[in-house]
């Protein structure tokens, strides 16, 4: 009788519970078998009486097993009448595009309209593509302008310090006309602060063809600035030096934050430097067997973070790589 009670109150939540029930009561060493084995000790005149009781016990156990088994399958097929399936689901949060991606895409689409194609190169570079091919031989003092990360102490391999390395890779395999932009990440061993980081992003431009002049360079950049910042923005070129361009210039635009009246971004000068540029050095063309008597070219390189600062007025470079959602969420909807 106590076994009957135990079986009656037995509940199963899963297939393991059910199997445990089967083993305990109906298994080859189970209780039903044990009880049945007692029959041999029953005197023959009472065998009939006992046989009926034990048979009923066995049937009870088998039926209980079936009932428990059904209770398992029916819960898994249970319907949920209380749930309103027509209710809208929980919204899935959608991320936002990173501000640097937004600005890089805008920059690229402006240059694409002028016929520039996008080119890419490796971030791990060799000395030749990052320096030597660009007219920066070993021991050239201009190498010190860029604090280089060398890989495995092997001075032949480094993290590219500028996207000008992609210029070298393109001229190596493509002949003029060449009209490309190279957006990408670059690395310099600088102490991280609001104004400097050990990695940042550049967008390089290169145009090589017959009769390319400094006027073409100026007009291209003028168009870019007007499309990016509006018609009111002024620009100026200052003579500068890069080993891979001659003549070279740096370009400033009137500060978009204060409108040229003076603020902390432009250090109260009204102007912000946004890029370096120049006419491709003939020696660089020769390095790639491009006839420098026939072809000329211009190149420019600018920092995406700086353009982003001017567009979105972000004044701390570190924000771009901290992945703080409070910062990133503010760009929701910008594309
Ligand atoms: N590579 C230069 C820099 O990182 C920028 C530049 C590119 C200058 C192309 C001239 C021409 O500062």
ipTM of the complex: 0.98
Reply yes or no on whether the pLDDT at 73 is more than 80.
no
Alpha-carbon span 85 to 63, nearest angstrom: 37
**pLDDT value for 78:** 63
**pLDDT value for 77:** 58
The mean per-residue pLDDT over the stretch 261-288 comes to 92
Reply yes or no on whether the pLDDT at 287 is more than 80.
yes
Closest ligand 1 atom to residue 202 Cα is 4
Nearest to 171 by CA among 303, 292, 275: 292
Reply yes or no on whether the pLDDT at 6 is more than 70.
yes
246 marked as part of a ligand binding site = yes
Alpha-carbon span 163 to 146, nearest angstrom: 12
The mean per-residue pLDDT over the stretch 91-101 comes to 90
- Please answer whether residues 182 and 121 qualify as being in contact, where contact means their C-beta atoms are separated by less than 8 angstroms: yes
Whether 245 is in the pocket of ligand 1, judged by its Cβ within 6 Å, is yes
pLDDT tens for 148-189 read: 898 877 778 999 999 999 999 999 999 999 999 999 999 999
Chain position carrying tokens 């060493």: 29
pLDDT tens for 99-127 read: 999 999 999 999 999 999 999 999 999 99
Probe residue for ligand 1, chosen from 162, 206, 241, 275 as the CB with the greatest number of ligand atoms within 8 Å: 162
Closest ligand 1 atom to residue 186 Cα is 4
Whether 276 is in the pocket of ligand 1, judged by its Cβ within 6 Å, is yes
Nearest to 172 by CA among 208, 123, 200, 196: 208
Taking the model in full, what pTM does it have?
A: 0.73
Q: What letter does residue 242 receive in the DSSP assignment?
A: E
Alpha-carbon span 92 to 167, nearest angstrom: 42
Tell me the average pLDDT of the chain: 91
The mean per-residue pLDDT over the stretch 223-252 comes to 96
Reply yes or no on whether the pLDDT at 215 is more than 70.
yes
**pLDDT value for 60:** 92
Chain position carrying tokens 């027509």: 86
Find the 276 Cα to ligand 1 centroid distance in Å: 5
Nearest to 216 by CA among 132, 135, 297, 108: 297
Residue 14's φ and ψ, nearest 5 degrees, are -155, 180
Helix (H) or strand (E) holding 284: helix 282-287
Grade residue 76 by pLDDT with cuts at 50, 70 and 90.
low
Whether 277 is in the pocket of ligand 1, judged by its Cβ within 6 Å, is yes
Give the strand pairing for 117-118 and 124-126: unpaired
Question: What percentage of the chain exceeds 70 in pLDDT?
Answer: 98
The mean per-residue pLDDT over the stretch 243-261 comes to 92
Residue 151's φ and ψ, nearest 5 degrees, are -95, 130
Question: What percentage of the chain exceeds 90 in pLDDT?
Answer: 63
SS3 for 7-37 is: HHHCCCCCHHHHHHHHHHHHCCCCHHHHHHH
Cα radius of gyration rounded to whole Å, the chain: 39
């Amino acid at each position: 009788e106590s076994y009957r009670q135990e079986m009656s109150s037995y509940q199963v939540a899963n297939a393991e519970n059910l199997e445990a029930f089967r083993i305990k009561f109906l298994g080859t060493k189970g209780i039903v078998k044990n009880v049945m084995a007692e029959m041999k000790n029953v005197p023959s005149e009472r065998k009939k009486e006992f046989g009926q009781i034990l048979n009923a016990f066995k049937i009870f156990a088998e039926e209980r097993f079936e009932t428990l088994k059904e209770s398992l399958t029916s819960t898994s097929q249970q319907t949920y009448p209380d749930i309103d399936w027509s209710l809208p689901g929980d919204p899935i949060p959608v991320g936002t595009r990173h501000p640097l991606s937004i600005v890089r895409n805008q920059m690229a689409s402006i240059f694409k309209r002028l016929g520039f194609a996008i080119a890419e190169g490796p971030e791990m570079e060799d000395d030749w593509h990052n320096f030597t091919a660009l007219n920066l031989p070993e021991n050239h003092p201009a190498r010190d302008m860029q604090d280089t990360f060398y890989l495995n102490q092997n001075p032949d391999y480094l993290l590219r310090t500028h996207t000008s390395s992609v210029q070298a890779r393109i001229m190596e395999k493509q002949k003029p006309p060449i009209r490309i932009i190279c957006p990408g990440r670059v690395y310099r061993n600088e102490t991280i602060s609001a104004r400097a980081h050990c990695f940042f992003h550049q967008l390089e431009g290169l145009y090589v063809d017959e009769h390319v002049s400094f006027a073409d360079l100026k007009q291209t950049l003028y168009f870019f600035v007007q499309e990016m910042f509006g018609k009111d923005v002024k620009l100026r070129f200052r003579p500068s030096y890069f080993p891979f361009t001659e003549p070279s210039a740096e370009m400033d635009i009137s500060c978009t934050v204060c409108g040229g009246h003076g603020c902390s971004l432009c250090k109260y000068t009204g102007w912000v430097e946004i890029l370096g540029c120049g006419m491709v050095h003939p020696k660089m063309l020769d390095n790639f067997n491009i006839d420098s008597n026939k072809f000329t070219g211009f190149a420019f390189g600018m920092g995406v973070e700086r353009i982003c600062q001017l567009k979105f007025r972000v004044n701390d470079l570190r924000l771009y790589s901290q992945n703080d959602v409070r910062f990133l969420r503010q760009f929701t909807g910008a594309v």
